[in-house]
């Protein structure tokens, strides 16, 4: 229903020519949404809202031209989709590609010499995810793959000798003492242990929010039980988002595979055995605690309002700005080899307003591998609130042992721009910028300064780290948050009415709501029982 966002910005400013649709069940006012520039309601058709559209046209509330425009945009997309013909594809070749992608995306978080695995050693593979992997997300994204690889089969094919124990039950979070005892017995006396753990569908999916950052209790108990009898433990994590790892100092290696798709099992074996040298990097920060996250104190808001008080300080931008200790920083990832950053040159054409960073990198180890060279830009002295530095480009480079190569990352005006809320546009602020070549947002290898002409930005109110971060936690209150806005912050009144936007939790908060919900459930049960 926001015409400024859907029409002025999306279409007029950004030039979008497709159609806008709702998320499933996210429609509020169908007529207002049409006027604002939203064409398609999903799921549909909805006779209730269809009637509202017809009535609005008949009584003059909705111009029929607006409806025609929406229909034209929708039909245009339908006709474009109809032009796409089903093509034959090579399923085997696709699987090979999926395996390569999954292997190159795996992130080695820790390695004290346990990896890669050695064929002459004896291992225990523990954790039900090794036998039944979680390889994709839950909800509407779920698909039925042509083939699913199991890491147990792939490790056997690689010549790794091991015994397997499930350690926990897949569908339950309760700790099974019998499975734990069996796992501990399997782990004793082995040269190495591979524990497969992570987040099941019930912990992360569309349709609900996570309430904590912990692994299932049964997975944590398994890691603790195994490390108690054998220190040579590698934890392989299958999850789609950040978790807490209070046990990370008690294990020798940690490999994060995320949700690796249909070839996750074989790809994981490739990395564990050293067939593939890991080169994935974290696309998010792994915090030390839930309380360390910037949204912890204000999510999910109060009443019907959610205030995103962290503002631009999202993810690594907050952690680096606040200088917060973290478990693993954004952009982080280890390799079976090592690299040195030897030099960096900045070339900038002021007339063309573009240039490049030229970074020389050497593989100083004994194994071929890939390094992800990251380029961050910051501005220590600024008239606007900024992150300490922001990622502006990256390049993955493959190097043989001893090989040296120059990595080139392009720069342009936008690389140095910030959004000027006074002018409603992206602007280069005059002054000195710091350019960093890095292997993560925290591991800054090389630095160069670049002076640029630009606008003198009047000070736009922002947060001050000294007063916003208290006792180590982000604590912007409503008074501080209001500084970021020229207008009064809106508050949605709670008039007690039950509407289509009222949540079940809100309904249950009143006696009238409980009675209504109880009647609906009773009526539904009576209709569909026998």
Active site residue 23: yes
Burial of 45 (0-12, 13-18, 19+ CB in 10 A): exposed
CA 442/CA 462 separation, integer angstroms: 23
CB 293 within 8 A of CB 248: no
Contact between residue 7 and residue 27 where contact means Cβ atoms under 8 Å apart: no
Burial of 9 (0-12, 13-18, 19+ CB in 10 A): middle
Query: How buried is 494 (Cβ within 10 angstroms: 0-12 exposed, 13-18 middle, 19+ buried)?
Result: exposed
Distance from C-alpha of 397 to C-alpha of 407, rounded to nearest angstrom: 7
The residue from 23, 90, 209, 487 that is catalytic is: 23
CB 189 within 8 A of CB 229: no
Pairing of strands 425-428, 161-165: unpaired
Q: Do the Cβ atoms of 411 and 357 come closer than 8 Å? A: yes
Strand 473-474, strand 469-470: pairing: antiparallel
Output the CA torsion 238→241→244→245 (10° steps): 30
Contact 135, 356 (CB under 8 A): no
d(CA 384, CA 379): 10
Report, as residue numbers or ranges, the catalytic residues. Answer: 23
């Amino acid at each position: 229903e926001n015409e400024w966002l859907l029409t002025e910005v999306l279409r007029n400013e950004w030039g979008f020519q497709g159609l806008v649709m709702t998320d499933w069940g996210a429609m509020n006012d169908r007529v207002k949404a049409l006027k604002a520039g939203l064409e398609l309601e999903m799921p549909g058709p909805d006779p209730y809202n269809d009637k509202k559209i017809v009535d609005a046209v008949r009584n003059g509330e909705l111009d029929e031209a607006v409806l025609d425009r929406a229909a034209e945009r929708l039909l245009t997309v339908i006709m474009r989709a109809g032009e796409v013909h089903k093509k034959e594809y090579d399923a085997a070749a696709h699987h090979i590609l999926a395996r390569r992608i999954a292997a190159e995306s795996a992130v080695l978080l820790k390695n004290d010499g346990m990896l890669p695995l050695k064929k002459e050693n004896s291992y225990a593979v523990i954790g039900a995810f090794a036998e039944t992997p979680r390889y994709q997300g839950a909800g509407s994204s779920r698909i039925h793959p042509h083939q699913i690889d199991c890491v147990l089969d792939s490790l056997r094919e690689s010549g790794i000798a091991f015994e397997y124990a499930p350690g926990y039950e897949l569908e339950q979070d309760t700790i099974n003492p019998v499975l734990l005892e069996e796992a501990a017995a399997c782990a004793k006396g082995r040269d190495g242990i591979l524990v497969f753990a992570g987040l099941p569908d019930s912990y992360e999916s569309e349709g609900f929010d996570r309430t904590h950052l912990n692994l299932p209790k049964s997975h944590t108990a398994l890691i603790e039980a195994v490390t108690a009898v054998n220190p040579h433990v590698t934890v392989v994590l299958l999850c789609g988002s950040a978790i807490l790892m209070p046990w990370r100092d008690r294990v020798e290696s940690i490999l994060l595979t995320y949700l690796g798709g249909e070839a996750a099992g074989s790809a994981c074996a490739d990395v564990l055995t050293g067939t593939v040298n890991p080169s994935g990097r974290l696309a998010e920060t792994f915090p030390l605690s839930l309380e360390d996250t910037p949204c912890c104190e204000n999510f999910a808001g109060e009443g019907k309002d959610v205030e995103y008080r962290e503002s631009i300080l999202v993810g690594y931008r907050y952690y680096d700005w606040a200088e917060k200790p973290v478990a693993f920083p954004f952009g982080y990832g280890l390799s079976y080899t090592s690299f040195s950053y030897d030099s960096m040159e900045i070339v900038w054409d002021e007339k063309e307003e573009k240039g490049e960073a030229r970074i020389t990198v050497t593989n100083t180890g004994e194994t071929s591998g890939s390094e992800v060279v990251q380029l961050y830009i910051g501005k220590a002295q600024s008239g606007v609130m900024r992150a300490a530095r922001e990622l502006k480009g990256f390049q993955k480079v493959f190097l043989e042992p001893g090989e040296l190569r120059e990595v080139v990352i392009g720069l342009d005006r936008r690389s140095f721009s910030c959004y000027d809320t006074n002018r409603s546009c992206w602007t280069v602020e005059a002054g000195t910028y710091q350019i960093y070549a890095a292997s993560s947002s925290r591991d800054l290898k090389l630095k160069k300064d670049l002076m640029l002409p630009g606008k003198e930005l009047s000070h736009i109110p922002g947060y001050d780290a000294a007063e916003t971060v208290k006792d180590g936690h982000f604590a912007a209150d409503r008074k501080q948050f209001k500084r970021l806005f020229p207008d009064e912050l809106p508050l949605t009144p709670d008039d007690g009415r039950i509407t289509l936007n009222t949540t079940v939790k809100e309904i249950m908060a009143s006696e009238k709501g409980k009675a209504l919900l109880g009647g609906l459930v009773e009526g539904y049960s009576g209709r569909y029982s026998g």
